[in-house]
Structure 1
């Protein structure tokens, strides 16, 4: 659990910062449907002073039992030193002069929006000192050069819907919001690819290119944008058929810590030219560079799509059926699981016209040719029946398919909307080999139910990835501790089963210890060496994925 900064640092810097223009549209309002953010404790002056006083302080302690190896690795490196008050003033002043007053904001509400998340499982009190709003790769490069000159941390911000504090600012610094970089640069329909800027929403992208007969199949939360999807190497419900983000990115334009602009490769779908730098940046959470342009593969919109819902007596029966469907090699487009609590959430949210049975349920999407869809439905029905399933209920038309699938896609937001005052939702994910999925889901579900809280399991069961979401009283330390232990036990269990601590949410601040358990200190040290080579002053989203050098 992360500690709050000391309250003694509250008075401070004179209001030397000119207020920048606020953004026109609040991302939190888009993604969370008019939730009201709490009033910020950390105003811009408080944030600036705190950052100045604590510039080089480590936010989270390193792993004690491995500290000697860590020190050996970094024996020639100094602990990162970040900008003090005067340097921050100079950096902000230079950027306003170069890009215009509206490009840099120090408005308290903007800082709160870019450092705190209503839906993240982890939040801290420290906020960024300022928010930059670039409009091009060239402007991002200018921002990076100034931040590099004054040693100001840089934190990329895209859709703002991450769940592991991926865009928080533990060392203050500059949040770089790509909201103005939201254009489709070029559609190459004959080559089946598209070039986009980082703030393009994946749903909007598919809507704009549908006349081409093509679509981009990676489908995480509805508010996700391409830049953030690259940063966390996300996936979504279609992953069982189409794979994850790393499978659909052809190349990236990246601004490095010192402002250097690189392109990771050219536009062919295959290349063996040099190191795979594209995949190096995918999943790096902005710790290696700022992605400003992405070339994505596209695929053909299926001829036919069918969506079905089927119930099971227990969560284990549903998970076992999913494992058998995958082992049989049936090419389902998507296969999702929701427990009885999540089905109750759908009913309470009223997002579909139908009232569903509140029991463990699986959502299936079938796509392809009409004959292929019919054959796949027949095969899946047979496997489901052997695991005590109920009857399949199919959406009657395309509109009902869309409504039904959106109910699954928006399940987390629906759960958040049911919160009472003072309550939060902890949502996290793991992934395990398919054969272990029934075991981990059954055990984790029981431990979660034993908490006696409003909690649920859902996930992309076709690729062994599932999520726990637990609502708890944030003002009750014992309740918070019990939830934290339940989540930690689930993650540790996944690692014992040769799984991973995160299938798609990323590491952020919340899972650094779990990543160390998963990969070991030697692998983490290789990552540190890569980061040190590309970002020697640890300016790019510091504190995420791995701890700072000490």
Structure 2
């Protein structure tokens, strides 16, 4: 089984050999393509004598083999958890060595199933003492290879930690364990008149959503995970347990010291393992009204979006689906929407305010060529509409059985959205590939699904090149390569370009302070 090799003395000649080996592996579709910028960076550092450390080149795993797990570690973890909650079997390891992204599985050497924070802490202490990597695993619905065991090691499946704490309705917060998903929580707190609005497409683990700083269709009104998490419990690499805002504290604001909560939000398991999240809750609005409207072009739909946002109309959701997306939506969800670029809207508030806002949006839509403005007023109709939107991942894959997709996730200033989408559509036309465009256009975040035949090397290469152009175009437009999916493994080549060398160096220094042995989900983010 392959592994990364950690050295800081690679010569230029060795770098060239590594690059060639990686290209051979990539050509046989063992895994991702080799990013030329990464190899160039490695060679440049070698030439000036800079240490490569873990090395920018993310594909060294082809070149050496994992050390077998020490039998004493296996015995120690079995003693902590019992035989039924540890697994060395290939099917279990394979299941935990992948996510929903387009990457080949890279399984861990062992999977464990802790049920308490104390058990996670004891597992971490054992792995730390044996210098074995640790990879947290929730629902496995990520898209950027965040759960791939690049260095082997032990995967901690946290889904048996499924507790929900007391609902503090007057203070609008609740604490959850990693096994609790967003739908599970919202069913649990509904009778309190509360809900948690952050809603990525999948029914993801809430602690996993913290780890990637996820968002979703409601972000335009309610924000992302960064705006909706009050405290985190985190097990560090050496087994210590940290409460980022102080134990049992849940204030909505504090200026006491560094904001450690936000440090761990989006850290993707590279700084520690999140074992509890205290979440900010919201009152269920008095009235919720959804609507859809078709447009003659994506351009007119985007122009409508910009005008709505510029007019400060407080929409709760504003989503764009192009023609291909609407066709897939109808086929998969048995809906009968017009096959045209379409905006999905939702409004939250009092009955009077919702009606007024919907009327304003209807007028703006009509002025831009919008037609067929349809309302979904009942809970059943609203649920059907938004379920169709959330099911788009599966709807799109179902259009071409056997195909896979490179799923992009860029975010640009709303003023640049039209340019971003128009040029992406041009890329699709030139490449000959197909793929819908959809996204949370109210905050400039959109996705495309670049479909490819996994048996066709030329399609695979074209899909990755198209996705790479999208990421770099977003950066050129002062945006980000990832609005909500996280960096994981797939977006690593763009981090230096987006944040700059000083920023990434500071991130490395933070990781080195908290994880000096580089055991926490190594090889991710940078």
- Shorter-chain TM band: 0.7 to 0.9
SS at match of 2:447: strand
Summarize deviations over 1:240-284 as a string: whole Å, max 9, x none.
000000100000000000000010112111111111000000000
1:449 corresponds to 2:432: no
Kindly indicate whether the alpha-carbon contact (under 8 Å) linking 2:94 and 2:105 is maintained by their aligned counterparts in 1. Answer: no
Give the distance between the partners of 1:541 and 1:404, measured in 2 at CA. 37
Give the distance between the partners of 2:147 and 2:506, measured in 1 at CA. 23
Change (3 A) 1:400 1:270: same
Change (3 A) 1:268 1:62: farther
1:281 corresponds to 2:264: yes
SS at match of 1:344: helix
Provide the TM-score with structure 1 as the length reference: 0.84
Higher relative contact order (CA 8 A, sep 6+): 1
Give the distance between the partners of 2:234 and 2:470, measured in 1 at CA. 35
Note the 1:185-264 alignment, pairs <5 A.
185-264=165-244
Tell me by how many angstroms 1:73 deviates.
9.2
Give the distance between the partners of 1:212 and 1:184, measured in 2 at CA. 14
Tell me by how many angstroms 1:70 deviates.
9.2
SS at match of 1:356: coil
Kindly indicate whether the alpha-carbon contact (under 8 Å) linking 1:240 and 1:463 is maintained by their aligned counterparts in 2. Answer: yes
Give the distance between the partners of 2:65 and 2:372, measured in 1 at CA. 63
1:359 corresponds to 2:340: yes
Provide the TM-score with structure 2 as the length reference: 0.88
1:476 corresponds to 2:456: yes
Change (3 A) 1:91 1:237: same
Give the distance between the partners of 1:447 and 1:441, measured in 2 at CA. 10
Tell me by how many angstroms 1:65 deviates.
5.9
Q: Which position in structure 2 is the counterpart of 1:325?
A: 308
Kindly indicate whether the alpha-carbon contact (under 8 Å) linking 2:428 and 2:434 is maintained by their aligned counterparts in 1. Answer: no
Give the distance between the partners of 1:73 and 1:418, measured in 2 at CA. 44
Tell me by how many angstroms 1:386 deviates.
2.0
Kindly indicate whether the alpha-carbon contact (under 8 Å) linking 2:433 and 2:459 is maintained by their aligned counterparts in 1. Answer: no
Q: Which position in structure 2 is the counterpart of 1:407?
A: 388
Q: Which position in structure 2 is the counterpart of 1:105?
A: 87
Q: Which position in structure 2 is the counterpart of 1:495?
A: 475
Q: CA RMSD of the aligned region, Å?
A: 2.2
Q: Which position in structure 2 is the counterpart of 1:395?
A: 376
Kindly indicate whether the alpha-carbon contact (under 8 Å) linking 1:215 and 1:299 is maintained by their aligned counterparts in 2. Answer: yes
Tell me by how many angstroms 1:476 deviates.
1.1
Give the distance between the partners of 1:162 and 1:398, measured in 2 at CA. 29
Q: Which position in structure 1 is the counterpart of 2:285?
A: 302
Equivalent of 1:63 in 20, 33, 41:
41
Q: Which position in structure 2 is the counterpart of 1:32?
A: none
SS at match of 1:183: coil
SS at match of 1:185: coil
Equivalent of 2:406 in 418, 426, 432:
426
Kindly indicate whether the alpha-carbon contact (under 8 Å) linking 2:42 and 2:52 is maintained by their aligned counterparts in 1. Answer: no
4+ residue segments displaced more than 4 Å: 72-75, 80-87
Larger CA deviation: 443-452 vs 323-332: 443-452
1:94 corresponds to 2:76: yes
Q: Which position in structure 2 is the counterpart of 1:339?
A: 322
Give the distance between the partners of 1:524 and 1:331, measured in 2 at CA. 36
Kindly indicate whether the alpha-carbon contact (under 8 Å) linking 2:2 and 2:151 is maintained by their aligned counterparts in 1. Answer: no
Q: Which position in structure 1 is the counterpart of 2:21?
A: none
SS at match of 1:186: coil
Change (3 A) 1:319 1:417: same
Change (3 A) 1:73 1:533: farther
Give the distance between the partners of 2:75 and 2:398, measured in 1 at CA. 40
Structure 2 segments unaligned to the other structure (5+ residues)? 4-37, 55-59
Kindly indicate whether the alpha-carbon contact (under 8 Å) linking 1:455 and 1:468 is maintained by their aligned counterparts in 2. Answer: yes
Equivalent of 2:497 in 517, 526, 529:
517
Count of residues in correspondence between the two structures: 481
Q: Which position in structure 2 is the counterpart of 1:181?
A: 161
Q: Which position in structure 2 is the counterpart of 1:486?
A: 466
Give the distance between the partners of 2:41 and 2:512, measured in 1 at CA. 19
Give the distance between the partners of 2:296 and 2:191, measured in 1 at CA. 42
1:134 corresponds to 2:114: yes
Give the distance between the partners of 1:67 and 1:483, measured in 2 at CA. 30
1:116 corresponds to 2:94: no
Tell me by how many angstroms 1:484 deviates.
1.0
Tell me by how many angstroms 1:391 deviates.
2.7
SS at match of 2:277: strand
Tell me by how many angstroms 1:116 deviates.
2.2
Give the distance between the partners of 2:65 and 2:235, measured in 1 at CA. 20
Give the distance between the partners of 1:453 and 1:83, measured in 2 at CA. 37
Tell me by how many angstroms 1:183 deviates.
1.4
Tell me by how many angstroms 1:454 deviates.
3.1
Equivalent of 1:156 in 105, 117, 136:
136
Give the distance between the partners of 1:71 and 1:199, measured in 2 at CA. 43
Kindly indicate whether the alpha-carbon contact (under 8 Å) linking 1:335 and 1:365 is maintained by their aligned counterparts in 2. Answer: yes
Q: Which position in structure 1 is the counterpart of 2:299?
A: 316
Kindly indicate whether the alpha-carbon contact (under 8 Å) linking 1:267 and 1:295 is maintained by their aligned counterparts in 2. Answer: yes
Q: Which position in structure 2 is the counterpart of 1:385?
A: 366
SS at match of 1:392: strand
Structure 1 segments unaligned to the other structure (5+ residues)? 7-59
Kindly indicate whether the alpha-carbon contact (under 8 Å) linking 1:124 and 1:170 is maintained by their aligned counterparts in 2. Answer: no
Larger CA deviation: 446-455 vs 426-435: 446-455
